[in-house]
Structure 1
Amino acid sequence: MQIFDGKTALMDYLRSIKTTNSSIGFVPTMGALHKGHQSLMKQSVQENGITVVSIFVNPTQFNNPEDLEKYPRTLDQDIIKISQINPDIIVFAPTVEDIYEGKTLSQSFDFDGLENKMEGKFRPGHFDGVGTIVKKLFEIVQPTNAYFGEKDFQQVQIVKKMVEKSHLPVTIIMCPILRETNNLAMSSRNERLTLQDRMDAGIIYEILTGAKEKFANSSVKETTQWVENEFNKNKKFTLEYFEIADEDTLTTCDIKIKNKKYRAFIAVFISNVRLIDTISLN
């Protein structure tokens, strides 16, 4: 298994093995890998001759220093999990110094307003950090296809916009959310939950599916109020936001328009761990 901690060595190696007909699949991660990540890797292996997985906890996308400090780092276990998928997968686990070369700062991006909604509204600077690291990684790996999970739907739209505006020759592929047995969306942050909290957090998806049913015959305001009331019943959770938005533009929906695709987005705190999820409402 090929493992690189420096971008120059990785780029040299990829140049040595890539042919005219080779396609490179890329799965960028922050480690603490779970079955959701593994499903992205499996799809990349099926669809590309070469697959690269990066493991890098990117400091510029954390607006909360405590969240960065507590983010799980499990590189040794991650490498074992990757090798079990396919030992030919190339692992890129760089240092902050190697990526940022002593200047750990975000580039400023214009994502046509996508960055100011939902996650961007509550995490200032987050998407500049995401755009910065994904652009850097794309320039290093030069993938044909890059794979992201649907749980981070807004982030995927942001990456697509960055690729479009930067004229990068990479196709962004969004893959379905994998869920735990209680339907909690798989996330590296789940590792910070106690077993009881993890079980209780299944209510997030339960409320999302209830919101989908409610939205079919109710207004946006009524659906949002219902969700807020459901979380108010359970003091273990703090609802940061629940928002219904146009699936393509992420514009907040105030009044339903026929034949528009809508999606619900949610962020919830339990025991100081922030969890996000999303569901299509059509």
Structure 2
Amino acid sequence: MYLIRTVNALHKKIQLLKKTKNTIGLIPTMGNLHDGHIKLILLSKKYADIIIVSIFINPMQFNNLLDLQNYPKTFKEDYQILQNIGVNIMFFPNVNDIYPNGIKNQTFVEVPKLSKVVEGQSRPGHFKGVTTIISKLFNIIQPNFSFFGEKDYQQLLIIKTLVKELNYMIKIISLPTIRLKNGLALSSRNNNLTVEQKKIAPYLYKIIQKTSKKIITQNIENRKKIIDESRFSLIKKGFLIDIFDIYDRNTLNLSSEKSKKIIILASAWLGKTRLIDNKKIF
């Protein structure tokens, strides 16, 4: 496995790979790799000849400096995982190489409407940071495929929109959320949960599942009553709710009788940890 630290070095390597007509798969990450990342890498091997995993804790997508500082940094462990699984290139740049003129002076890329709703309201500027770094990686690497998990549904929808509207010749492949046996979605942020909180955290998805069943059996017309009951159940378990509602899967508008495809999107605080999850209903 090649460890590449600079944009210029990676760009030169990509040009050589293009000459051999290898297809390239990219998995963008912020490190602290877990089984969800590993499943994405294994999936990527079914599509591409060369697998590149980027690890970059992107300051542009954090609106909380403390959250950025506390984000887990596990380079040695991540390097070993990627080497053992047979990744071809690990791209591990520093902030100055990615943003040589500083974040405030960086040209940015933003998907307008989808970036301002739901999670975008709670985390202003977050998705602008995501789409800017993803665009930079796409431009540097020019992959044939890029792979993302479905736990971050809004992020996935935004990236698909970005690719379509900016005419990137890249196929976006998604992987269903990887969970523990108790239903908790895998996330680097789970490491911040206390022992007691780890017992409570799976209830977020359990209540999402119950909500989904109620929507299917009681119909979307009863949405407000069903959502209120679910929110109350989460609060009783100790969650501080940020987002919990039913949305149109294509527009992220609150669902209505006209919505043909809908999804439950949820984010809630458990102590100092913000958990997100979702479930497609139909």
TM-score, normalised by the number of residues in structure 2: 0.94
Higher alpha-carbon deviation: 167-176 or 30-39? 167-176
Aligned partners of 1:221 and 1:20: how far apart in 2? 56
Whether contact under 8 Å (2:110, 2:132) holds in the other structure is no
Whether contact under 8 Å (1:263, 1:279) holds in the other structure is yes
1:90 aligns with 2:80: no
Aligned partners of 2:20 and 2:254: how far apart in 1? 44
Name the structure 2 match of 1:276: 276
1:257 aligns with 2:258: yes
Name the structure 2 match of 1:241: 243
1:232 aligns with 2:235: yes
Whether contact under 8 Å (2:214, 2:226) holds in the other structure is yes
Aligned partners of 2:115 and 2:14: how far apart in 1? 33
**Structure 1 residue 21: Cα displacement:** 3.3
The amino acid across from 2:175 in the alignment is C
The amino acid across from 1:190 in the alignment is N
**Structure 1 residue 110: Cα displacement:** 4.8
Aligned partners of 1:71 and 1:175: how far apart in 2? 23
1:114 aligns with 2:114: yes
Output one character per residue of 1:227-282: Cα deviation in whole Å (capped at 9) or x when no partner. Answer: 11101212x311111021111221211x3337x11000000111211110010112
**Structure 1 residue 82: Cα displacement:** 1.2
Whether contact under 8 Å (1:11, 1:140) holds in the other structure is yes
Alignment of 1:93-172 (within 5 A): 93-105=92-104, 107-172=107-172
Aligned partners of 1:190 and 1:184: how far apart in 2? 9
Name the structure 1 match of 2:194: 194
Name the structure 2 match of 1:220: 223
Over 3 Å counting, the alpha-carbon distance change for 1:164 and 1:107 in structure 2 is: farther
SS at match of 2:97: helix
Aligned residues: 278
Output one character per residue of 1:150-178: Cα deviation in whole Å (capped at 9) or x when no partner. Answer: 00110011111222222221111111100
Output one character per residue of 1:183-242: Cα deviation in whole Å (capped at 9) or x when no partner. Answer: 1100111111123312320101100001101111142212211111101212x3111110
SS at match of 2:182: coil
CA RMSD of aligned residues (A): 1.5
Name the structure 2 match of 1:43: 43
Q: Which runs of 5+ in 2 are unaligned?
A: none
Whether contact under 8 Å (2:263, 2:279) holds in the other structure is yes
**Structure 1 residue 89: Cα displacement:** 2.3
The amino acid across from 1:136 in the alignment is K
**Structure 1 residue 108: Cα displacement:** 4.6
**Structure 1 residue 112: Cα displacement:** 4.3
Stretches (4+) displaced over 3 A: 105-110
The percentage of counterpart residues that share the same residue type is 36
Q: Which runs of 5+ in 1 are unaligned?
A: none
SS at match of 1:233: helix
Over 3 Å counting, the alpha-carbon distance change for 1:78 and 1:205 in structure 2 is: same
Name the structure 2 match of 1:81: 81
Aligned partners of 2:239 and 2:265: how far apart in 1? 16
Over 3 Å counting, the alpha-carbon distance change for 1:160 and 1:14 in structure 2 is: same
Aligned partners of 1:133 and 1:17: how far apart in 2? 22
The amino acid across from 1:230 in the alignment is S
The amino acid across from 2:171 in the alignment is T
The amino acid across from 2:89 in the alignment is I
